[in-house]
Chain A
């Protein structure tokens, strides 16, 4: 562990908030603007990689105690399950629907099942990207 990474770490601590926020923005904006599950997931993974670079793998793992292989699996499972729910509603597999609701804070908001599917995509992308990078770097 290099003790001279003070600047990097300080910048990382600030930047990670911005990156993750931007990722979440990209993800949710995907429905109407450029973005979506894939790019959102990738930028989250990019943020995590920055954490790994600035700190140690062990340190990050202690603070984010997540097994990313499971995240990838969860993502695929979620995507499949959202597809399955439409079957129970008597519709074809992966039939998405949407509607407009009045929520307490946000006001009139559009809620779409496609977003749940996108969450699955994002989780699969995050899980896979981080798994690949972690396993390669641990090998070295």
Chain B
């Protein structure tokens, strides 16, 4: 019995308890001290699985949820899930620890903060451990929602709400696309389990739904992981408290998309579409993010763009590595599998250095009161520990030794170089661009890393520009980034411990066709004078020169007009869609009942007319028709005359009287068609209606009592003619489509059945008495309605008069 499902639910259970704990301990103890137990427990629990997983075993357990639909809470732990699980719980524990010192226990609504955060943590754990794709989707949306809540944590700020809404719209859009992709997958393979889908890969690759399912799934992954062009939400999400930015928007949530791509590589990988979309979007994101990061004035925005760029790097590596699936087994497969290993390695490295960088930026913000590069400077001697931490994080991010970023950057260069020589997927023609783009992006990465370090910590300190007196942070706040920074260095010196125990099992999960013995790569910092090293040296030289003369070329950023930026497009799209829908709604919702009647009748004509036309339902037969007597002919002529009198009369009084005569003519019809009950009722009812019409007429307001003919309108004429023709045609066709004999024969025995010779009455009170009962109810309600309308209006008007 594995406790894995319990580990997913532990944060949720604790989220329920958190408000009570908060109520009890505030303001004596910071709530975070209790919350930190949760990620720590999960982390320690997961650590014990490292040996199990690295031996190639996996752990799975299933709890029934909706067994009748085959939806079960199946948890599955393999190398890939373990990496993410460790990152989520490990960084989670450090972030909670950091937040204890960052978030004031007197001023902040800590219960909200930790509830949202625990929700997020549980959702993220559920996401990576789920084997069922629908459960995965549930947790996926839960991360979107909790991220939304966390970004808008300071909901009184306008920018927070804007950022939260933006991230919500984009990630939920992607989530819904992903849901449809997942449903398509389950349609193709007839299962909801990821492992079973993997075992039926052939059903997917040969199916016609393969491209749409792939694109929809990637939409989900790209929106979540802030890939181009969906990356715009991430810089705005920086309005969240810094622990949240460190946790969600650098280490965990943005990697959910990476997880998804890695998880489904065995399904879609090996096709050229997947290869080009994933690596192409990754490369574009990489260079887009790094170029934009240089232009940022806000440290958190800089880090946000650098996150985008690094995520693009990981994504492109996953794309390049998917070529391994194409080759199946053998040496060539191993060469490309190296890219996936690099992706996973950089995933871990990025979480460590980016987490520590965010925390340090949070410290600077906390201790100086600003994050603006133009106001900061000369903090080196004031905040030595933060300075050291920033150097470690930034140099690792820039890809310099002796930090772990150097290793993964070298591996990245190796991967793009091998990919450029890839004989398939048309890499012969376009392949040469990829190393160049990667190299340029690395140069920009180097530049913004230098900006991050030197603009903040060197130069002249200007105390008058910042709100607080700058000083070093309390030790509690420094411990989490120190731990991460130590990891950055330790991983550099002992990369193969990580590789053997964590990365290789994860690689097996991403590329299941590979055997471990083939893929026995030792990661080493020194591998001779090769192309990668020259590229790194080139990055350092070009980057340093460009940083030196940064003021000379910064104007280039202003060349591109603001109106072409993605943010501007997003805002325009949002405003435009609101305006357009308002316009459309105002256009057809005119408020005029005549227009609505035109729609209704127009639809009536269209639907019934086209169904008559296309089903060839219209037939005319005269065989069953009865003889037309002279009385009927005369009556019809009279009725037509009075109907036209209603339409064409100048005064309303004439119309009312013509309508009355029409009613009496109908009762005459009832008489010649031998329906005495109907005739009697029709006469009386027609009299009453005519009297009521006259009453209405008498009470018309003097002012508008114009005497005029109904004005002629072509649309009205066409529509009324259309309705008349359609109804006539329908009635004529229906007359010829009697499929069964009438049941009226049964009612003819009414004397023996109901003791009544009057069949109509017997039907009304006996055979179909329920109808009559409800009809008198309708009548009574109408009477009461008239009574209340007339009697109660005075009470309503009372105060005004």
Contacts and interface: CB of A to CB of B under 8 A. Distances in A.
Contacts of A127: 780, 783
B754 A112 contact: yes
Interface in B382-396: none
B688 interface: yes
Interface in B739-757: 754-757
Contacts of A56: none
A139 B780 CA distance: 19
Given A30-B758, A79-B776, A117-B769, A35 B786 contact: no
Contacts of B755: 31, 98-99, 110, 112, 114
B765 A96 contact: yes
Interface in A87-102: 93-94, 96, 98-99
B758 A114 contact: no
Nearest to A30: B761
B783 A128 contact: yes
A122 to B, nearest CB: 9
A39 B681 CA distance: 6
B738 interface: no
15 contacts: A26-B680, A31-B761, A37-B764, A39-B680, A42-B685, A72-B780, A83-B773, A98-B754, A98-B756, A99-B755, A110-B755, A114-B754, A117-B765, A135-B787, A136-B790
Nearest to B782: A128
Interface residues of A, number: 46
A111 to B, nearest CB: 9
A120 to B, nearest CB: 7
Given A75-B776, A80-B773, A125-B776, A32 B681 contact: no
B756 A83 contact: no
Interface string A16-56: 00000000001000111111111100110010000000000
B642 to A, nearest CB: 24
B783 A36 contact: no
A39 B684 contact: yes
A65 to B, nearest CB: 18
B29 interface: no
A9 interface: no
Contacts of B699: 140
A41 to B, nearest CB: 9
B695 A136 contact: yes
A35 B766 contact: no
B515 interface: no
Contacts, number: 131
Contacts of B769: 83, 94, 96, 114, 117
Interface of A: 26, 30-39, 42-43, 46, 69, 72-73, 75-76, 79-80, 83, 93-94, 96, 98-99, 110, 112, 114, 117-118, 120-121, 124-125, 127-129, 131-132, 135-136, 138-140
Contacts of A112: 754-756
A135 B766 contact: no
Given A124-B780, A131-B787, A46 B684 contact: yes
A39 B762 CA distance: 14
Contacts of A32: 756-758
A131 B761 contact: no
A96 B687 CA distance: 33
A128 B776 CA distance: 9
Scoring B695, B772, B783, B791 by chain A CB atoms within 10 A of each residue's CB, the highest score goes to B783
B589 to A, nearest CB: 34
Given A42-B685, A94-B770, A128 B756 contact: no
B135 to A, nearest CB: 49
Interface in B81-98: none
B779 interface: yes
Nearest to A36: B761
Scoring A46, A75, A117 by chain B CB atoms within 10 A of each residue's CB, the highest score goes to A117
B780 A135 contact: no
A46 B773 CA distance: 22
